[in-house]
Amino acid sequence: MAKYYLLPKHLMDRLPAAQTPVWLLEAAVFHLLYGLARLMPLPLATRVFAACLGVVGRRNSNKLRPVRRNLAVMMPEASEAAREAVAREIFRSAGHAAVELFLLDRIWRRRAHYLEFAIHPEAEAAIRRKEPIVFATAHVGAWQLTNLIGREHDLSIAVLYAPDRNPWMDRFFRARRRHFGGPLVPSAGGARDVMRELAAGRSVGAAFDTRIDEGEPVPFFGVPALTNTLPALLSLRGYPLIPIRAVRLPGTRYRIEVMAPLAPADPDAPRKAQVLDITTRLNAVFEDWIREDPGQWLCMKRRWPKPRPAQAADV
């Protein structure tokens, strides 16, 4: 996650002695925002935070720059004005996501009012068997709520997360994420930690739409992008790989959609070909979700390689 939230990283890198005070300030600000959100009903909090993040985000060049670059790849035929409108909606979606994390316990307590579940029969069968499952989502819509599938169906889901470099912010986020209902596993642990959780009988949930430097170049919106192949590798080990998302509905409601497990199209193909096939199809699922409503995709980190100098003017 971001090293700094309130000030540009390049500025803070010149002032290393200010790191601890700034980190403490950031933690204090987030605790204040959390307290404010807790004072409001969920619908009001989402509107307020969406409006605020929509304004602040458009003035944060460090966040706006990668969003614009990502949208240039994802929406190559769209006009600049159309992409700017989507960028504004993305920052509004970030406000929704903040409230959904801050009020996660409230959403769960009133799940009969806020949540509905749509589960594919094949996924439902795997859930009933209580076998370890790899739940794969993307940073689209209310993605954080997908982990509530575990609490709804009495599954222990180990949630992979990226620890914050700010230790006070890390504690803050972990305190909110404990409402997922399962253990939290730092993503830095890699495949070994994931395999340990699965071997212990726990399912695993994570967002797999972000770039990882050690990933394989797999098409994403028609352009090769370094992609995590771990979900596909786990699928070939016999763990059901199930895409899952949480869709924001009118009236501040959410529908958690659980799809059928992905499997290799050709089980007799070489192992690497099967891994690339499953990963490509998982990316295609994410593409469908994003195309459905691009403004719901929180793409504030670079997803594709930086453009070459000759292309820089185009993005």
Neighbours of 280 (CB within 10 A): 16
* pTM (2 d.p.): 0.91
**pLDDT band of 58, cuts 50, 70, 90:** confident
pLDDT in tens, 248-293: 999 999 999 999 999 988 989 999 999 999 999 999 999 999 999 9
The answer to whether the CB of 280 falls within 8 A of the CB of 265 is no
Helix (H, G, I), strand (E, B) or coil at 303: coil
Separation CA 182–CA 184 (nearest Å): 7
Greatest alpha-carbon pair distance for the chain in Å reads 58
- What mean pLDDT is predicted for residues 207-215? 90
**pLDDT band of 14, cuts 50, 70, 90:** low
**Looking at residue 313, what is its pLDDT?**
43
Phi, then psi, of 182 in degrees rounded to 5: -130, 175
Separation CA 159–CA 187 (nearest Å): 9
pLDDT in tens, 122-155: 999 999 999 999 999 999 999 999 999 999 999 9
Q: Are strands 241-249 and 253-258 parallel, antiparallel or unpaired?
A: antiparallel
Question: Helix 167-177 and helix 80-102: axis angle, to 10°?
Answer: 70
> Does residue 67 register a pLDDT over 50?
yes
**Looking at residue 240, what is its pLDDT?**
97
- Give percent above pLDDT 70 in the chain: 91
**Looking at residue 190, what is its pLDDT?**
77
pLDDT in tens, 165-184: 899 999 999 999 999 998 99
**Looking at residue 54, what is its pLDDT?**
87
Average model confidence (pLDDT) across the chain = 90
> Does residue 299 register a pLDDT over 80?
yes
**pLDDT band of 306, cuts 50, 70, 90:** confident
Separation CA 208–CA 228 (nearest Å): 7
Extended strands (E) in 3-79: none
**Looking at residue 223, what is its pLDDT?**
95
Phi, then psi, of 40 in degrees rounded to 5: -110, 155
Helix (H, G, I), strand (E, B) or coil at 117: strand
pLDDT in tens, 31-47: 999 999 999 999 999 99
DSSP 308: P
**Looking at residue 10, what is its pLDDT?**
58
Backbone CA torsion sign across 286, 152, 247, 188: negative
- What mean pLDDT is predicted for residues 42-59? 91
DSSP 222: T
| H or E element that contains 285 | helix 271-292
> Does residue 7 register a pLDDT over 50?
yes
**Which residues are CB-contacts of 205 (< 8 A; sequence separation ≥ 6)?**
135, 137, 146, 147, 149, 150, 157, 158, 159, 160, 180, 182, 244
- Give percent above pLDDT 90 in the chain: 75
DSSP 261: P
- What mean pLDDT is predicted for residues 89-113? 96
**Looking at residue 1, what is its pLDDT?**
45
Separation CA 168–CA 214 (nearest Å): 29
> Does residue 20 register a pLDDT over 90?
no
Separation CA 240–CA 119 (nearest Å): 14
Q: Between residues 106 and 187, which one has the greater pLDDT?
A: 106
